[in-house]
């Protein structure tokens, strides 16, 4: 059977080129003569050696052998075996002069009318290094390494194997001789057999394979099963008549398990409450889960293939994004708060985590971003921040914020000679309104006065409520008494018009103390105390007026 298969393989080498080109391992065809001219290498061999077939085809293959005598021994052994498949381990010469160990399979074929040798090999350099390092564990690690070797087989139109490579024993536990006695039904589990039967019926009906890749479950000698990926192509004779199938089978049990796990994780990601997107190394979106689409308002079709810069809000500057990209392109995760823009133009806050994904060489190939919408939390935080620094009734800055701004202004006035003045106001007649009309009317009156007070001031000035019916004003850029007095007069003028509170007219005035910054004031508190004292002088003088505080005089020298 093997001789008959080899004769067919020699006659139909050109039909095997497609299969050899798709093989997931390096394949080469050489002449059997002493120099071993290279006639063909497949795509995987190009990638493995980092060469183009146009550069190496026609060169002596002997130069790739560390020991040229071993190549001649291989040719002699092939001739002795009648050209049948031969497997052996050999050390080859890499392009950079580094030795590499490979597991090589060889057979004689007829290639474009000339006798040739087809070679396939698997890199086992790491395995050989491990064997030398571990010594006593040599057999165990060899078994692990050899478990990945692919199986090459042929089958006739009756569904019987006509050839099977020795690596089948590593895959299923059966020797090649045992497999040659099995039918297709014995080589597959019932579910996989139903698939294969459909494909075989299609082959007999059309002369073509239904598909080139099949995932099939096969029984092992020990009673277990193994999942395999079979690459299948047709065999034809010189007249083009269908004669059977040629296939390469590899173990994908671990890959299939991993794929199922990934599918399970994909379901979990799709159902996650957090938005998840996956991009390539350039930030182009490859995947987005439903939560991300709900968060941003974009459909999946609208985001796939788009760069993440599409969602920028314009809030962050170039330095922000430069730091972010600098972190993730170096292979480190980044976590922080980002303001982005929804499809409808609305801004939203998100807690963003970006994790780089690296390949086996350590290069970043994509990014996984997890987004948690924290807009509501930010609104609450901003509200709490506002409540901590602003008066709840009037929405004016409170005592804490006023003194913080005063401290900064006082420092600038001392260091840069910037003008500064403080007004302390107390409403005249407020207690009478509060007592006669109730606290609700009093609160409405305070809010109405606060609104009028802000209207009389510049945007750069600060009006604050200190408590009760006492207010303060921080005036910037004031260098002369007249400027501060002008502001005080505007406040008094704003109170000439009565307030309409709950349908009743309420008339109040204000007593105002004015203090202009002077180097004699050692602290902001002294400046406020001076204005406060002037305010009480205004009350004692009859109210509805302002009094200008005079800076303290330096003590006379003794």
Task: Point out the residues that are catalytic.
Answer: 469
**502: region left, alpha or beta (phi > 0 left; psi from -120 to 50 alpha):** left
Place of tokens 């039909």: 15
The partner residues of 92 in beta bridges, in order of sequence, read 65, 100
Q: Report the C-alpha gap between 300 and 94 in whole angstroms.
A: 47
Q: How far from the centroid of its chain's Cα atoms is residue 421's Cα? A: 54
Contact 282, 356 (CB under 8 A): no
Tokens representing 110? 């007829």
Tokens representing 153? 């087989």
Question: Helix 138-146 vs helix 125-134: angle between axes, to the nearest 10 degrees?
Answer: 160
In 250-273, which positions are buried (b, 16+ CB within 10 angstroms) versus exposed (e)? bbbeeebeeeeeeeeeeeebeeee
Element (H, E) at 504: strand 504-506
In 318-353, which positions are buried (b, 16+ CB within 10 angstroms) versus exposed (e)? eeeeeebeebbeeeeebeeebebbeeeeeebbbbbe
Element (H, E) at 503: none
Element (H, E) at 398: none
- Stated length of the chain: 558
Q: Report the C-alpha gap between 288 and 265 in whole angstroms.
A: 14
Contact 399, 453 (CB under 8 A): no
Q: How far from the centroid of its chain's Cα atoms is residue 238's Cα? A: 54
Q: Report the C-alpha gap between 275 and 311 in whole angstroms.
A: 13
Q: Report the C-alpha gap between 85 and 328 in whole angstroms.
A: 50
Contact 294, 342 (CB under 8 A): no
Element (H, E) at 219: strand 213-219
């Amino acid at each position: 059977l093997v001789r008959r298969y080899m004769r067919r393989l020699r006659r139909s080498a050109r039909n095997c080129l497609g299969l050899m080109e798709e093989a997931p391992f390096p394949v080469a065809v050489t002449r059997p003569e002493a120099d071993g001219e290279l006639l063909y290498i497949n795509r995987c061999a190009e990638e493995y050696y980092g060469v183009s077939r146009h550069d190496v085809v026609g060169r002596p293959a002997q130069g790739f052998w560390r020991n040229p005598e071993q190549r001649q021994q291989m040719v002699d052994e092939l001739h002795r075996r009648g050209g049948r498949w031969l497997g052996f381990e050999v050390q080859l010469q890499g392009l950079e002069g580094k030795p590499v160990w490979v597991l090589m399979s060889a057979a004689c074929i007829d290639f474009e009318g000339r006798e040739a040798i087809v070679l396939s090999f698997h890199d086992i350099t790491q395995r050989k290094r491990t064997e030398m390092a571990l010594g006593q564990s040599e057999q165990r690690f060899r078994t692990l390494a050899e478990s990945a070797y692919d199986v090459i087989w042929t089958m006739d139109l009756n569904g019987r194997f006509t050839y099977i490579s020795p690596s089948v024993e590593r895959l299923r536990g059966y020797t090649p001789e045992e497999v040659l006695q099995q039918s297709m039904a014995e080589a597959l589990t019932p579910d996989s057999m139903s698939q294969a039967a459909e494909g075989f019926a299609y082959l007999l009906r059309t002369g073509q394979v239904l598909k080139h890749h099949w995932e099939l479950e096969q029984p092992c000698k020990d009673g277990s099963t193994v999942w395999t990926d079979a690459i299948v192509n047709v065999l034809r004779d010189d007249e083009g008549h269908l004669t059977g199938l040629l296939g390469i089978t590899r173990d994908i049990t671990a890959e299939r398990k991993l794929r199922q796990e990934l599918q399970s994780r994909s379901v979990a990601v799709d159902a996650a409450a957090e938005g998840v997107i996956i991009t390539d190394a350039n930030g182009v979106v490859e995947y987005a889960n439903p939560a991300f689409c709900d968060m941003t308002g974009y459909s999946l079709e609208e985001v796939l293939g788009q760069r993440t810069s599409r969602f920028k809000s314009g809030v962050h500057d170039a330095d922000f994004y430069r730091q972010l990209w600098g972190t993730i392109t170096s292979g480190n995760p980044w976590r922080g708060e980002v303001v982005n823009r929804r499809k409808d133009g609305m801004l939203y806050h998100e807690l963003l985590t970006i994790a780089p994904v690296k390949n086996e060489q350590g290069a970043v190939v994509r990014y996984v971003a997890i987004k948690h919408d924290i807009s509501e939390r930010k609104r609450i935080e901003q509200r709490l921040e506002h409540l901590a620094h602003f008066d709840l009734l009037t929405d004016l800055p409170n005592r804490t914020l006023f003194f913080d701004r005063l401290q900064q202004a006082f420092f600038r006035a001392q260091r840069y000679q910037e003008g500064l003045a403080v007004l302390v106001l107390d409403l005249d007649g407020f207690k009478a309104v509060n007592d006669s009309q109730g606290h609700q009317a009093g609160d409405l009156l305070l809010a109405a006065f606060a609104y009028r007070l802000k209207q009389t001031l510049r945007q750069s000035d600060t009006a604050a409520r200190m408590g009760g019916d006492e207010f303060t004003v921080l005036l910037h850029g004031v260098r002369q008494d007249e400027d501060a007095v002008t502001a005080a007069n505007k406040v008094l003028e704003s109170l000439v018009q009565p307030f309409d509170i709950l349908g009743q007219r309420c008339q109040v005035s204000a007593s105002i103390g004015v203090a202009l910054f002077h180097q004699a004031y050692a602290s902001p508190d002294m400046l406020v105390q001076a204005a406060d004292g002037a305010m009480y002088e205004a009350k004692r003088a009859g109210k509805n007026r302002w009094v200008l505080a005079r800076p303290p005089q330096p003590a006379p020298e003794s």
